[in-house]
Amino acid sequence: MSQIKGPAIFLAQFMADEAPYNSLPAISAWVKSLGYKGIQLPSWDGRIMDLAKAASSKDYCDELKGQTNGLEITELASHLQGQLVASHPAYDELFDVFAAPAVRGDVKARAAWATEQMKLVIKASRNMGLPVSPSFSGALLWPTIYPWPQRPAGLVEEGFKELARRWQPILDCAEEHGIDLAYELHPGEDLYDGATFERFLEVTGNHARVNINYDPSHFILQCLDYVGFIDEYGSRIKAFHVKDAEYRPSAKAGVYGGYLDWKSRPGRFRSLGDGQVDFKQVFTRLTAAGYSSWAVLEWECCYKDSVQGAAEGAPFIAQHLIDVPKRAFDDFAGAASDVARNRRILGLE
């Protein structure tokens, strides 16, 4: 049996106002027909669920589970709410669309709303029996990612200190209800690679609920060792987005993209199998690290249609799942333990 569960699919990119993408029963029937066994729900999408009701009613959560055509709900994703916990003023208008209309244009009210939304996600996850929520960290420092103009001494430290202050009540709520937060390390967030994750972990006092949603596509675009990353942080990886990407060096643009559209950028997201991620190594290293939760397709591609990407995703994930061995491959050549024999071999007798 495979240690990693799957295949599963994140529904956010597929939701729409027309059938079968506009309700939980309809879209779950569609993805089940493609071979998926689990679905990750976008907790902010009212076509899928009423988050406040899920946070207060286990009966309602059981009703939601009954609408999935037998598929397992893997996690409640909280990326959009997490994004608004902390946001630099440069992005206020752009991110306002993620918030409830009543708090748009009011930065403090929006951040308070996002904090309460995250707490609702945590409580709803508890009611559904889901141990983790993938999310974003938000960002106060992102506009200063490149050190020009020179960053004033202490700016980065103050930014992470404030980020931790904003997340502390959410993390305390997560601890109270036994839910891990798995931050997707993503450009545009203050947590976008291993080094920034370590900074956040430190300022939160190595909080047990600070964890990672592993997505190798974001590391491909940063030219980061995405396989070695698993060896470094495997114990903190609590969720897994299976997403492909490619980075093809260009004479005109680099990792920053030059304000080009997705098709023209050197780095872009691709459907599974169309990019450069070595998923055999990814699944192998995650298995070795003891990861035992879901492998969830997150589809994003500027070339291929979403329906084709979803159809290809289920068998792609299934063929990468690893059945962990019940015995060692060289057991046939082994010998029983014998202390005296071992000492003779070592020349100690």
Residue 97, SS3 per DSSP: helix
Q: Residue 317 pLDDT > 90, yes or no?
A: yes
| Cβ-based neighbour number of residue 65 at 10 Å | 15
**239, β-bridge pairs:** 213
Which contacts (CB < 8 Å, 24+ apart) does range 62-65 have?
64/24, 64/128, 65/128
Report the pLDDT value the prediction gives residue 333, as an integer from 0 to 100.
73
The residue whose two tokens read 């939980």 is 24
- Residue 229's CB: how many other CB atoms inside 10 A? 21
Report CA-CA distances (Å) from 242 to 36, 93, 130, 217, 246.
13, 31, 19, 8, 14
pLDDT band at 327 (very low <50, low <70, confident <90, very high): confident
| Alpha helical stretches, state H, 234-347 | 279-288, 306-320, 339-345
- What pLDDT score does 286 carry? 98
Indicate if the pLDDT at residue 334 is higher than 80: no
Q: What does residue 324 show for φ and ψ, rounded to 5 degrees?
A: -70, 145
Question: Coil, helix or strand for 98?
Answer: helix
Cα 83 to Cα 44, 136, 184, 226, 297: the distances in Å are: 12, 5, 11, 23, 21
- What spatial distance separates the first Cα and last Cα of the chain, rounded to whole Å? 44
Res. 328: pLDDT tops 80: no
- Give residue 288's pLDDT: 97
pTM, to two decimals: 0.96
**Cα–Cα distances in angstroms (integers) from residue 326 to residues 1, 69, 247, 292, in the given order:** 9, 33, 38, 16
Q: What is the mean pLDDT of residues 91-112?
A: 97
Instruction: Compute and round to an integer the Cα radius of gyration of the chain.
Output: 22
Tell me the fold of 5-345. Answer: TIM Barrel (3.20.20)
> For residue 5, what are the contacts with CB-CB under 8 A and spacing of at least 6?
37, 38, 74, 292, 293, 294, 295
| Residue percentage of the chain with pLDDT more than 90 | 95
| Angstrom distance (rounded) from CA 48 to CA 54 | 11
Burial environment of residue 13 by CB neighbours within 10 A (0 to 12, 13 to 18, 19 or more): middle
The yes-or-no verdict on residue 336 having pLDDT over 90 is: no
119: confidence class by pLDDT, cuts 50, 70, 90? very high
pLDDT of residue 325: 86
What does the pLDDT read at residue 329?
75
pLDDT band with cut points at 50, 70 and 90 for residue 254: very high
DSSP state of 252: S
Predicted local distance difference test score (pLDDT) of residue 25: 98
Yes or no: say if 338 and 26 are a contact pair by the CB < 8 Å rule: no
Contact 245, 268 (CB under 8 A): yes
Residue 341 CA from chain centroid, whole number: 50
Determine the Cα–Cα distance for residues 215 and 173; give it in Å rounded to an integer: 25
Domain residue extents for the chain: 5-345
Residues sharing a CB contact under 8 Å with residue 319, sequence separation 6 or more, in sequence order: none
pLDDT of residue 337: 84
Instruction: Kindly report, residue by residue over 193-246, the tens digit of the pLDDT.
Output: 999 999 999 999 999 999 999 999 999 999 999 999 999 999 999 999 999 999
The predicted structure's pLDDT at residue 214: 99
Residues 57-91 have pLDDT tens digits of 999 999 999 999 999 999 999 999 999 999 999 99
Q: Is the pLDDT of residue 331 over 90?
A: no
Given a cut of 80, whether residue 118 has pLDDT beyond it is yes
Residues 109, 96 contacting (CB under 8 angstroms): no
- pLDDT of res. 75: 99
Vertex 134: Cα angle to 132 and 137 (nearest 5): 125
CA distances from 187 to 139, 215, 298 (A): 10, 12, 16
* Long-range interactions of 96-102: CB distance < 8 A, separation 24+: 98/44
The pLDDT, as a whole number, for residue 123 is 98
